[in-house]
Amino acid sequence: MIFVFLSKLIPIFFYPVGLIFLLLVITLVFYYWKKSSLIPYPIALALIILLLSSNGWVSNVIIQNLEWQYLPQGELPKAEAIVLLGGATRSGVKPRPMVDVNDRGDRILYTAKLYHEGKAPIIIASGGRIKWLGGGQPESEDMTRLLELMGVPRLDIIQEPNSLNTYQNAINVKEILLEKNINQILLVTSAFHMPRAVSIFKKLGINPIPAPTDFLVSEKELMAINSSLESIILNFLPDAHRISKTTLAIKEYIGTIVYRLRGWL
């Protein structure tokens, strides 16, 4: 649990907003110490980070580098099970009338689609819930409820409710695969997260068929960014959505480095 907490805390200061925060704190310290000659430097660096991280070309390139590693080549083959990784829901606690999907909700939609297309007869929904991040019932149960709403029988869903990160997803899913004698799986997660997820599963001796979804960068968006003078101008200016995309990519790169250092990849 300590590792999970530190994995959420420490990277914050490597993300654009966290770095800008640190630089502004440094600026205040310089101001307090009357070292006025140094004040412009952290402010200038904070401005550069802000402009780069919110730049449309930068955010698209670093996200695309992750998302387009496992682009589907034709129709996906059939498998024995679909493994759905968590991170796509919000607990159905007050005042929400039911379980909500977040920006990663496409994972659940795509899993239901693959099931109804007959790609696999079983869905393994993997994901727990970190208590100090809101708590609630395990995400595997949330995903199961939403899959049921989309016509997937509960009997065809196996829940894995204990994992709190991608490595634990893979470890716990492997136990289920061995128990059920399942050899071939379709792995469903967001496209930006797929490279790390596939590497972890392969490290554990599982060779999944990647079924990425939730693409943040499409061919149309890449074309639109240079389509007009207005678009070019707007993509130079700060934008919260593009900062979010950049942060998401940095998070994945940091996660990959940490997982490699721990021998999980």
Domain co-membership, 187 together with 139: yes
CATH number at residue 162: 3.40.50.620
Q: Which residue has the higher pLDDT, 113 or 39?
A: 113
> Residue 244 above 80 pLDDT?
yes
Contact status, residue 31 vs residue 42, Cβ threshold 8 Å: no
By CB atoms closer than 10 A (0-12, 13-18, 19+), residue 140 is: buried
* Distance (Å, whole) CA 92 – CA 20: 34
Contact status, residue 127 vs residue 172, Cβ threshold 8 Å: no
Q: Is residue 141 part of a domain?
A: yes
Q: Is residue 230 part of a domain?
A: no
Domain co-membership, 149 together with 187: yes
Distances (CA, A) of 152 to 48, 157, 166, 177, 193: 48, 8, 24, 20, 25
Name 218's Cβ contacts closer than 8 Å, sequence gap at least 6. Answer: none
Q: Is residue 26 part of a domain?
A: yes
* Distance (Å, whole) CA 136 – CA 99: 10
Q: What is the pLDDT of residue 72?
A: 85
Domain co-membership, 87 together with 193: yes
Domain co-membership, 94 together with 181: yes
Name the residue among 89, 262, 78 with its Cα closest to residue 184. 78
Q: Which residue has the higher pLDDT, 227 or 167?
A: 167
Name 127's Cβ contacts closer than 8 Å, sequence gap at least 6. Answer: 85, 86, 87, 138, 139, 140, 143, 160, 161, 163, 169
Tokens for 206, please give them: 């599982």
pLDDT tens digits along 195-207 = 999 999 999 999 9
3-state secondary structure at position 90: strand
Tokens for 82, please give them: 């679909």
Domain co-membership, 24 together with 121: no
Q: Is residue 170 part of a domain?
A: yes
* Distance (Å, whole) CA 77 – CA 65: 25
Domain co-membership, 59 together with 82: no
Last residue of a domain, one of 197, 213, 229: 213
Q: What is the pLDDT of residue 101?
A: 92
- Region 46-63: mean pLDDT is 92
Domain co-membership, 64 together with 108: no
Tokens for 260, please give them: 């490699």
Number of domains in the chain: 2
Domain co-membership, 32 together with 87: no
Q: Return the H-helix or E-strand segment holding 101.
A: strand 100-101
Q: Is residue 181 part of a domain?
A: yes
Pairing of strands 100-101, 185-190: unpaired
% helix, strand, coil for the chain, step of 5:
55, 10, 30
Domain co-membership, 31 together with 47: yes
- Region 15-32: mean pLDDT is 86
Q: What is the pLDDT of residue 1?
A: 59
The average confidence (pLDDT) of the chain is: 90
% of the chain residues with pLDDT over 90: 63
3-state secondary structure at position 28: helix
- Region 183-203: mean pLDDT is 97
Domain co-membership, 123 together with 201: yes
Contact status, residue 212 vs residue 152, Cβ threshold 8 Å: no
Domain co-membership, 82 together with 32: no
- Region 179-189: mean pLDDT is 97
pLDDT tens digits along 94-110 = 888 989 999 999 999 99
Q: Is residue 17 part of a domain?
A: yes
Q: What is the pLDDT of residue 10?
A: 67
Query: Residue 133: which pLDDT band, with cuts at 50, 70 and 90?
Result: low
Domain co-membership, 80 together with 207: yes
Contact status, residue 206 vs residue 170, Cβ threshold 8 Å: yes
Residue 244 amino acid letter: S
Tokens for 220, please give them: 């149309």
Boundaries of domain holding 59: 2-68+238-261
* Distance (Å, whole) CA 82 – CA 141: 16
